[in-house]
Amino acid sequence: MPSNATKNIIYKTPIAQLGYNFIAKEYLPKGKDEYYLRNQQERSGRNYRHLTAYEIEVLVRNNNTSDNWNNIFVGESFNPELVKNCKFNGLIRIGKLESICLSFSDLTTPVGLYNSNIISCDFGDNVVVDNVNYLSHYIIGDEAILININEMVTSSTAKFGNGLVKDGEDENKRVWLEICNENAGRKVLPFNGMQPGDAYLWSKYRDDEAFLNKLKELTEKKFTTTRGFYGKVGSRTIIKNSASIKDVWVGEDAYIKGANKLKNLTINSGDNEGRTQIGEGCELVNGIVGYGSRIFYGVKAVRFITANHSQLKYGARFYYIITFAIKIRCSTIEFFSWLQLNNLLLRGFKFIDILFTRTTS
């Protein structure tokens, strides 16, 4: 008989719990429920109501199911005819659904929720969700389009690429960027908004323990260690034909198509800073993508930060990297040396192609 160490551990819970208890009771503040952070994140100001008996009848006729119809809330101008072949669990909130189509590039699709398994999510006005096999704990913005996605999940300990550990987690869960050398002696904590100067100071003054502890403290103060934040897809963002998306925060007006794997990321986009695009075959894990970035054609990146308007293409491979205003194609890059470039950085040089400690084409 195989030992337990060689077996997958399968946990069993009552089916009635599917979509609930996102935050374990021991991590809930006194007087709060599991939705208190979700309600803070959902800033639309939209007024929701319960479904009417007629709307439930239409939803059932259209082959939809729910563990509890009373836990589905909708906005005004909700059209139940635009929800078909969906399975709902947990608290669901749906905005306005109108009989219109949304078009982007060569894609035109009718508004509504179709052929999807949806767990505890919020949807803005006139969204499209079609053939999403597993969508769990996300807040979807207005006129967002999600089509042909295998799984899109947020865990209660999601960090979205920041170097945190959530309440109750072991320190070994923290993600560090081991830059400058291969011995992790100059590692830094990544965070959304990190600048080259931040990484330089953190990696340079390793003998000042009080300074390093203060940098770590400031990072943890900027991003709370509280469990229970939902993933986000910003308004007018399109995600299609992608395989696995977990613990990812996506800004507005992004375009993601054909990605293999996106995990533990912040993808900045919109806000007049630039629309970000991620293309076919990309696999991005434990990172932060800058505004207006273009990442296409099989790029693989692990533990990284890209500056705004970076371009990564044609099979580039990144490990433990912080970039600034770059265009890179067909390279494998590891342990980027800030120290070799810091003089040029501090003088304000702008790079299209840059030097690395180890580069193989």
Q: What is the mean pLDDT of the chain?
A: 87
Query: Who's near 111: CB < 8 A, 6+ residues apart?
Result: 82, 97, 98, 99, 100, 101, 102, 126, 127, 128
Whether the pLDDT of residue 160 is over 80: the answer is: yes
Q: Do 217 and 348 fall within a single domain?
A: yes
Please state the rounded mean pLDDT for residues 196-208: 83
**174/159 Cα distance (integer angstroms):** 9
Are residues 193 and 257 located together in one domain of the fold? yes
First to last CA, the chain: 47
The residue that leads in pLDDT, 69 or 220, is 69
In a domain, 6, yes or no: no
Q: Are 233 and 252 in contact (CB under 8 A)?
A: no
pLDDT in the model for residue 4: 67
Which of the two residues, 118 and 335, has the higher pLDDT score? 118
Domain stop point among 96, 131, 153: 153
In which residue are the tokens 């925060």 written?
249
pLDDT at 355 over 70: no
Distance CA 35, CA 202 (A): 36
Which stretch of 29-33, 72-76, 134-138, 175-179 has the lowest confidence by average pLDDT? Answer: 175-179
Contact (Cβ atoms closer than 8 angstroms) between residue 328 and residue 313: yes
- Residue 358 lies in domain: 158-229+242-361
Same domain, 219 and 121: no
- The tens digit of pLDDT for each residue in 70-110 reads 999 999 899 999 999 999 999 999 999 999 999 999 999 99
Exposure of 314 in the CB half-sphere (CA atoms within 13 A): 6
Q: How would you class 212 by CB atoms within 10 Å of its CB: exposed for 0-12, middle for 13-18, buried for 19 or more?
A: middle
| Residue 285 forms part of a structural domain | yes
Q: How confident is the model at residue 196 (pLDDT cuts 50, 70, 90)?
A: confident
Of 12-21, 250-259, 337-346, give the lowest mean pLDDT range.
337-346
> Are both 209 and 247 inside the same structural domain?
yes
Distances in Å between the Cα of 164 and the Cα atoms of 82, 132, 156, 264, 284 are 40, 29, 13, 11, 18
Average pLDDT over residues 219-232: 91
Q: Is the pLDDT of residue 312 over 60?
A: yes
Place of tokens 């194609």: 329
Higher pLDDT, 176 or 73: 73
Cα→Cα distances 342→96, 242, 263, 337, Å: 51, 38, 30, 9
Residue 166 falls inside a structural domain: yes
Q: What is the pLDDT of residue 329?
A: 56
Q: Is residue 113 part of a domain?
A: yes
pLDDT band at 197 (very low <50, low <70, confident <90, very high): confident
Domain boundary among 153, 182, 210: 153
Residue 273 CB coordination number (10 Å): 14
CB 351 within 8 A of CB 325: yes
Q: Average pLDDT for residues 217-233, to the nearest whole number?
A: 91
Same domain, 304 and 249: yes
Q: How confident is the model at residue 144 (pLDDT cuts 50, 70, 90)?
A: very high
Total tally of structural domains belonging to the chain: 2
CA distance 321 to 323: 6
Percent of the chain with pLDDT over 70: 86
3-class DSSP state for residue 174?
coil
Residue 351 scores a pLDDT above 80 = no
- Same domain? For 210 and 325 the reply is yes
* 165 and 29 inside one domain: no
* 261 and 346 inside one domain: yes
Question: Could you please report the per-residue DSSP string of 123-140?
Answer: E-TT-EEEEES-EESEEE
Is there a single domain that holds both residue 264 and residue 291?
A: yes
Q: Write out 281-347 in H/E/C secondary structure.
A: CCEEEEEEECCCCEECCCCEEEEEECCCCCEEECCCEEEEEECCCCEEECCEEECCCHHHHHHHHHC
Which residue is it, tokens 């002696």?
Answer: 185
- The domain boundary, picked from 104, 120, 153, lies at 153
Residue 165 shares a structural domain with residue 149: no
How far apart, in whole angstroms, are the C-alpha atoms of residue 332 and residue 319?
8
Torsion angle of the four alpha carbons 317, 320, 325, 328, in this order, in degrees rounded to the nearest 10: -20
What gap in Å lies between CA 219 and CA 192, rounded to an integer? Answer: 10
**Cα–Cα distance list, 268 to 65, 92, 140, 272, 308 (Å):** 35, 26, 15, 11, 9
Phi-psi region of 271 (alpha: psi -120 to 50; beta: other; left: phi over 0): left
Residues 208 and 356 reside in one and the same domain:
yes
Reply yes or no on whether the pLDDT at 358 is more than 60: no
> Is residue 235 assigned to a domain?
no
For the cut 50, the answer to whether the pLDDT of residue 348 exceeds it is: no
Range with the lowest mean pLDDT among 68-77, 221-230, 247-256?
221-230
Note whether 66 and 166 are same-domain residues. no
If pLDDT is split at 50, 70 and 90, which confidence band does 359 have? very low
Q: What is the CA radius of gyration of the chain?
A: 22
